Amino acid sequence: MNILHICAYSWDIGGPPRIIYDYTSVQAPQGEKITILTPMSEGDVLYTTAPGVRVVQVKRHWFAKYFPEFSPGLYQYLREHGNEYDVIHIHGIWHFGSVAPFFVKLRAKKVITIHGLLDRWTLKHGYWKKKVMTWLIQKRLLKKTPLILINNQREYEDVKRYLGYQHPNVQIIPNGLRISEYQNLPAKGTFRRQHQIGDHQQLVLFLSRLHIKKGLDILLPAFQLLRQSHPHAVLVLAGPDDGYLPEIQQFIETHQLQKSIILPGMLIKTDKLAAFADADVFTLPSYSEGFSVAAMEALTCGVPSVLTDHVGFSDYLRSYEAANISDTTVESVRDGLAYMLDHPDEAARMARNAQRMISEVCDINVVANRVLDAYYQLVPQQV
């Protein structure tokens, strides 16, 4: 089968490139022909690709600041090469790449993964742009999509609410990861030494894009309150800026937290694993996620975690008792962090449960083949 993924495939985007990498690292060795079509701007760093996977880079147009990912080159590629593919897998909505394939007459079956972009929080932010796009085209095209992939039951309800009816072909498939990549972590103390964090200090790790939807407006004051009972705690906010860095810097300056909040930027590969190895607790108090890759990574590494109902798999977390689930309030996040730091045995029990959950639910070998099976259901003659 010839498969085309459409996604902004760069390191600063967050979860979708990682998800595509994991899918394709399983599917390509099975003989599937896979291409990733990605808009890129000057300075973007292409995400790692799995062996045998081809990447086509097209230039992101300046108009993309008004219509995300707008690229005449992307449209031109679809016109010239779109009919070479059996399946076109579109990642996310509200961007040019999610509508362009519908403007070209193609034989390929289209698949859209929502990635959490129809939840109430996301629809409320940028409301009028989304309202106009819904009215013009987005809802109509989503109705025409042969297959919609989602991660959880909450997204199922989001799609139904948005469309106004139940789409006939929606499949719930969780995200997955390659567990073996997280089994040999760097030696403990590596990250702490790099950032002058003492062994006596309790390290709270946030690892994601620095964006308002990640709950940073909750986490910052929650951490400030936490320091009243845990004065040696350190908060590491690791990730690329996505619009919220100035607010973080202002908060640090206003409350004189220069020695207690560390901004190491985006961490990848060994540096990221070193941060997980040294963290006492991981937190992602997000308002909106499809199925958080960062949270999955932390849980796979055995880091006790404080998460919210909005990370995309809280139903699994609750059934496995795999994390502390907080509300999206300052006090609840503070209480969750304090509990995990003050009850290390219980935190360790949850961490073990989380690793069992990941192995049973999120193994990429299972998940990627479920996605591939969904493709073949659309294109049965390829079997």
Domains, the chain, in order of start with CATH, read: 2-176+363-382 (3.40.50.2000), 180-361 (3.40.50.2000)
pLDDT in tens, the chain (383 residues): 999 999 999 987 778 998 999 999 999 999 999 999 999 999 899 999 999 999 999 999 999 999 889 999 999 999 999 999 999 999 999 999 999 999 999 999 999 999 888 988 888 888 888 888 888 899 999 999 999 999 888 899 999 999 999 999 999 999 999 999 999 999 999 999 999 999 999 999 999 999 999 999 999 999 999 999 999 999 999 999 999 999 999 999 999 999 999 999 999 999 999 999 999 999 999 998 878 999 999 999 999 999 999 998 999 999 999 999 999 999 999 999 999 999 999 999 999 999 999 999 999 999 999 999 999 999 976 44
Give the per-residue pLDDT at 46: 94
pTM of the model: 0.84
Give the per-residue pLDDT at 266: 94
Give the per-residue pLDDT at 240: 94
Give the per-residue pLDDT at 383: 42
Give the per-residue pLDDT at 170: 95
According to the 3-state scheme, what is the secondary structure of the chain? CEEEEECCCEHHHCHHHHHHHHHHHHHHHHCCEEEEEEEECCCCCECCCCCCCEEEEEECCHHHHCCCCCCHHHHHHHHHHHHHCCEEEEECCCCHHHCHHHHCCCCCEEEEECCCCCCHHHHHCCHHHHHHHHHHHHHHHHHHCCEEEECCHHHHHHHHHHHCCCCCCEEECCCCECHHHHCCCCCCCHHHHHCCCCCCCCEEEEECCECHHHCHHHHHHHHHHHHHHCCCCEEEEECCECCCHHHHHHHHHHCCCCCCEEEEECCCHHHHHHHHHHCCEEEECCCCCCCCHHHHHHHHCCCCEEEECCCCCHHHHHHHCCCEEECCCHHHHHHHHHHHHHCHHHHHHHHHHHHHHHHHHCEHHHHHHHHHHHHHHHCHHHC
Give the per-residue pLDDT at 133: 85
Give the per-residue pLDDT at 381: 63
Give the per-residue pLDDT at 382: 47
Q: What's the order of all strands across the beta sheet hosting 203-207?
A: 261-265, 234-238, 203-207, 281-284, 305-308, 324-326
Give the per-residue pLDDT at 130: 87
